[in-house]
Amino acid sequence: MLLDCSHGLDEWKSTTFFSEAGLLELQKKIKEAFEVFDHEANDTVDVREIGTIIRSLGCCPSEGELHDLIAEVEEEEPTGYIRLEKFLPMMVKVLSERRYRPIPEDLLLQAFEVLDSAKEGFLTKEELVKYMTEEGEPFTEEEMEEMLSAALDPETNTIQYRDYLAMMVIDEN
Amino acid sequence: MGTGSSSHHHFVLQKAESAFKAAVLIQRWYRRYIARLEMRRRCTWTIFQSIEYSGHQDQVKLHDFFSYLVDHFTPSSQNERNFLSCMFAEERLLKDSEMETYCDYESIEVPDYYTGPHVSFPLLPDHATALVEAFKQKKQLHARYVLNILHEARKYLIQLPNINHISTCYSEEITVCGDLHGQLDDLIFIFYKNGLPSPERSYVFNGDFVDRGKHSIEILMILFAFMLVYPKEFHLNRGNHEDHLVNLRYGFTKEVMHKYKVNGKKILKMLQEVFCWLPLATLIDEKVLIIHGGISDKTDLELLEKLERHKIISTMKYTKKPEKKKAAEESRSISAWFPLKSRSVPSSPLRLSPHKGSRSASIPCTFTPDRKEIFKKVRQSVQLELKEGQQQMDFSEFKDKEPLRFPLESEPNSCDFQGVNQEEWKQVVDILWSDPMPQEGCKANTVRGGGCFFGPNVTEQVLQKYSLQFLIRSHECKQEGYEFCHNRKVLTIFSASNYYEVGSNRGAYVKLGPDLIPHIVQYQANKTTHTLTMRQRISRVEESALKALREKLFAHSSSLLAAFKSYDLDGSNFITLNDWSVAMESVLHLGLPWRVLRPQLVTHTINNMLEYKSWLNDLAKEQVSHENIQSSLLEVLYRNRSNLETIFRIIDSDHSGLISFDEFRQIWKLFSSHMNVDITDESICDMARSIDFNKDGNIDINEFLEAFRLVEQSYLEDKDSELKGSETNESSCSGQGVH
């Protein structure tokens, strides 16, 4: 089942075409991830877990983008649950259009460097907390604490972000 | 307005914008990282649970094996008759006089060099506290005191009703704890965090005190001691593990025999006498019902109050009516041979009166249809059992229908010891084994093999019928240590933290005041977890789950190979990852998200294709091997290890750890024929001989099973010492981890 060929060139480039088998496989993959959170075995998932599912499938949307996605698949009268039959086609589209790709390592490093106004190669705990909890799409207290637990070097009370990133990248792989 | 300030302005704006963008980028990335961790954590949990449930099916298989024996096996020799009679021998409660003789403790001397705690009666609060302290310091209670406490506990329990009615007006708060499963650290932590039991501090422990963990006996001693010291404030409910047949399989029997080599058998016998007298339920203010498992649509509290609970020695026993005259005849002939296989437990006249203990026989109705289904499935597929030794991971709760009673007489009323009737028995089974489910209705709990799955409507129905507010139950491990369901009308409380693995779950207890509003306290009784980051915690548990999963995969190597081959149409030795996923599920039936797990299980692919033979070989290399045993047999043995162990232990009636060469052969022969496993008699002999390590004609069960446990044992010990390293000088009850 080929996708509509009338997309613009950029989209064309970034769209993955699937063979019938490939599409089927993609659907199975999405369904599996969905089912991990389908506690009542009735093809529904709590809306609060949708972000986890989408991200675990390889996408890296911002919170704002995530909200948009959820709005697309929610019921007209939001029930707090998302149904697989709505989620699946949306997710197929997202994945085949390669939307919300993960962030390359060098870009991440640049981001830290931007925040590191003194250009010292590290961020103080206060700086990181300020940025993460006041800027962008702020972290909750829990998220902040969790990030600090791994990122903070307790001896210097700083975040050596190069090392931190290097460690995280290894983790991922 | 100079250009300077507007460009400065512009610059500041740009800087602010980039800071914003940078922050969003980092936050986006981080949230994805966390989401992936969460997915891994969920999958890990799913792995443990699905392995657990598949283990249950294996237990059902064991049950079917015994039924098969009864239905089809005609003993053709004296030996075989003995063997069978041994397997199906009657167990019953001792009379008081017998108890005095057999389970006497006064004649047991406590030597001078004994450094453990001393206990005297009447028991005082200080004694109970001293016990806790002593166990914290890893002391062991002397067998004499163990038996003494068990005797006193029994005397006390006998006069309790089946359902304990307690009230919040005597002590302000009641603390309810769930499964402990031999995890002493958790009990100590609860007492540390919540306070020791006292007239002002009531406790209810909701069953499953024993099995799996390493300190079941210590937990029992503490619980019984406090129960004797504070009878009005300290209450115990029976769980499905307070059952000697379950203990045979899940480690408590082993623990007792290991710790009490001389008096272990007495203690085990006495435990049977105590367990059956544990109350079945506790009712707080006539409003909150506490039972270990759950309820069914037939739950009848009045019936439960009236039945003679002590007659249910084990919830796994049931009896079957002789359907054919032939079977009845055979049973009679077996009973005639009964005494030939000696047993350690009273070599007294008891054993020569086989007419005692005959029961009225019937199969519980809910089980019948499933039994046929399961029996069919059993014939078709090979099931798997996780290794027994790793107690933290073998959590297969199961309803192992134990050997069918041979009806020694056809009239149920002819003896002085009678069981309960079928309906009463089922009521108790339901209370001890059922699980809630999200869907409406009530159906047989085929996962556990007994009890049922009950829906929100059943809960509502029972609550209304008896004017109750909600139920508290345990029986199921929950990641947070507790879980509400059925519109908050059912609370599951589970007090064994790190149950599957260090870091796998929290434990919790619930406090109720006169307002009956539940306040939950969570904890995780292992300091190490708190020094780890979330990723490290999840990784550690995940590693454990994957290891368990890979073992299972190995044990199914042949079936997997066959399945893979069927997808390898061009004989290239490669299959697609999609085919791999499908094949895995078709062989293992675990319902796992194979595509999500794939990156963890399959690391080498070429062009998205897997070279399956070398993958299977890699799996095999990870597992332990014993040179003496051929590899094909190894796989089969390995797969059936737990079932075999259970059968061995039943045969090994004097708990010596030894069974004869012959017995081993017979068991294996019967079992393998039932399992449709193709093994020649010669191979069995060879195998038995090679396992008879000291060539004395006896097989040491433990040594035999040890062959499968070597790697895991050392793995566990490494873990253990790793963790204990950080705990040696302090109790694990630091205030950390409380939420």
pLDDT tens for each residue of B593-610: 999 899 889 988 888 889
Helix %, strand %, coil % of chain B (to 5): 50, 10, 40
Strand B482-485 relative to strand B470-473: parallel, antiparallel, unpaired? unpaired
d(CA B454, CA A31): 28
Give the closest residue to B214 by CA, choosing from B385, B55, B392. B392
Q: What separation in angstroms does the CA of B596 have from each of B556, B574, B602?
A: 21, 20, 11
Write out residues 104-123 of A within 8 Å (CB-CB) of B.
107-108, 110-112, 114-115
Average the pLDDT over each of B414-418, B471-475, B566-570 and give the range with the smallest value: B414-418
Give the closest residue to B301 by CA, choosing from B284, B317, B280, B322. B280
**What pLDDT does residue B16 have?**
78
d(CA B558, CA B616): 9
ipTM score assigned to the predicted complex: 0.90
**What pLDDT does residue B68 have?**
59
B472: β partners:
B290, B491
**Is there a contact between A94 and A58 (Cβ–Cβ < 8 Å)?**
no
- pTM, entire model: 0.69
Average pLDDT estimate for B675-679: 58
Find out whether the peptide bond into B122 is cis, omega within 30 degrees of 0: yes
pLDDT tens for each residue of B434-458: 999 998 999 988 777 788 999 999 9
Residue B678 has pLDDT above 90, yes or no: no
Q: Which of B63, B241, B475, B674 does the annotation list as catalytic?
A: B241
Higher pLDDT, B48 or B343: B48
**What pLDDT does residue B457 have?**
96
- Alpha carbon of B175: minimum distance to chain A alpha carbons (Å): 29
Q: What percent of chain B has pLDDT over 90?
A: 38
Q: Per the CB < 8 Å rule, is B596 touching A112?
A: no
Average the pLDDT over each of B268-272, B548-552, B734-738 and give the range with the smallest value: B734-738
Nearest CA in chain B to A38: B42
Average the pLDDT over each of B368-372, B539-543, B664-668, B674-678 and give the range with the smallest value: B368-372
Work out the pLDDT band at B623, boundaries 50, 70, 90.
low
**What pLDDT does residue B551 have?**
79
Work out the pLDDT band at B254, boundaries 50, 70, 90.
confident
Q: Which residue, chain included where needed, has tokens 């019953």?
A: B92
Write out residues 116-155 of A within 8 Å (CB-CB) of B.
131-132, 135-139, 143, 146-147, 149-150
Q: Which residue, chain included where needed, has tokens 């009636």?
A: B653
d(CA B475, CA B295): 12
**What pLDDT does residue B611 have?**
92
Q: Which residue, chain included where needed, has tokens 């899940």?
A: B250
pLDDT tens for each residue of B298-356: 999 999 999 999 988 888 755 433 333 333 333 332 222 111 122 222 222 222 222 22
Residues in CB range of A130: below 8 A, 6 or more apart: none
| Interface-testing mutation among A135, A145, A165, A172, with chain B (most B C-beta atoms within 10 A) | A135
The partner residue sitting opposite A108, judged by closest CB among B29, B43, B578, is B29
d(CA B656, CA A42): 50
Average pLDDT of the residues of chain B: 74
Per-residue pLDDT of chain A (173 residues; tens, 9 = 90+): 333 444 444 444 556 667 787 888 889 999 999 999 988 778 999 999 999 999 999 899 999 999 999 999 998 888 889 999 999 999 999 998 888 988 888 899 999 999 998 888 899 999 999 999 998 899 999 899 989 988 998 888 899 999 898 888 776 65
The end-to-end CA distance of chain A, in Å, is 32
Average the pLDDT over each of B203-207, B272-276, B402-406, B564-568 and give the range with the smallest value: B402-406
Q: What separation in angstroms does the CA of B283 have from each of B161, B291, B305?
A: 11, 9, 12
Q: What are the backbone dihedrals phi and psi of residue B454, each rounded to the nearest 5 degrees, phi first?
A: -115, 140
Work out the pLDDT band at B60, boundaries 50, 70, 90.
low
Q: What separation in angstroms does the CA of A10 have from each of A6, A95, A105, A107, B535?
A: 11, 16, 23, 21, 37
Collapsed DSSP state (helix, strand, coil) of residue B198: strand
Q: Per the CB < 8 Å rule, is A115 touching B23?
A: yes
User: Which numeric CATH code is attached to A20-97?
Assistant: 1.10.238.10
With an 8 Å Cβ cutoff, is A86 touching chain B? no
- Check whether domain A105-168 has CATH 1.10.238.10, yes or no: yes
Work out the pLDDT band at B363, boundaries 50, 70, 90.
very low
Q: Is B467 left (phi over 0), alpha (psi -120 to 50) or beta?
A: left
Nearest CA in chain B to A25: B578
Average the pLDDT over each of B32-46, B284-298, B521-535, B601-615 and give the range with the smallest value: B521-535
**Is there a contact between B281 and B293 (Cβ–Cβ < 8 Å)?**
no
d(CA A139, CA A89): 30
Write out residues 577-616 of B within 8 Å (CB-CB) of A.
578, 581, 593-596
**What pLDDT does residue B391 have?**
28
d(CA B645, CA B640): 9
Tokens representing residue A127 in the block: 């700086």
- Secondary structure E strands in chain A: 44-46, 81-83, 123-124, 152-153, 158-159
Work out the pLDDT band at B32, boundaries 50, 70, 90.
very high
Average pLDDT estimate for B706-726: 46
| Interface-testing mutation among B18, B26, B584, with chain A (most A C-beta atoms within 10 A) | B26
- Catalytic status, residue B292: no
- Alpha carbon of A136: minimum distance to chain B alpha carbons (Å): 5
- Alpha carbon of B287: minimum distance to chain A alpha carbons (Å): 28
Tokens representing residue B456 in the block: 């929100």
Nearest CA in chain B to A105: B29
Most confident among B230-244, B436-450, B551-565, B661-675 (mean pLDDT): B230-244
Domains of chain A by residue range: 20-97, 105-168
Q: What percent of chain B has pLDDT over 70?
A: 65
Give the closest residue to B443 by CA, choosing from B432, B425, B455. B455
With an 8 Å Cβ cutoff, is A50 touching chain B? no
B387: β partners:
none
Work out the pLDDT band at B409, boundaries 50, 70, 90.
very low
Strand B173-177 relative to strand B201-205: parallel, antiparallel, unpaired? parallel
- Alpha carbon of B700: minimum distance to chain A alpha carbons (Å): 43
**What pLDDT does residue B681 have?**
66
- Two domains, one topology: A20-97 and A105-168: yes
Work out the pLDDT band at B692, boundaries 50, 70, 90.
low
d(CA B186, CA B188): 5
CB pairs under 8 A between A and B: 122
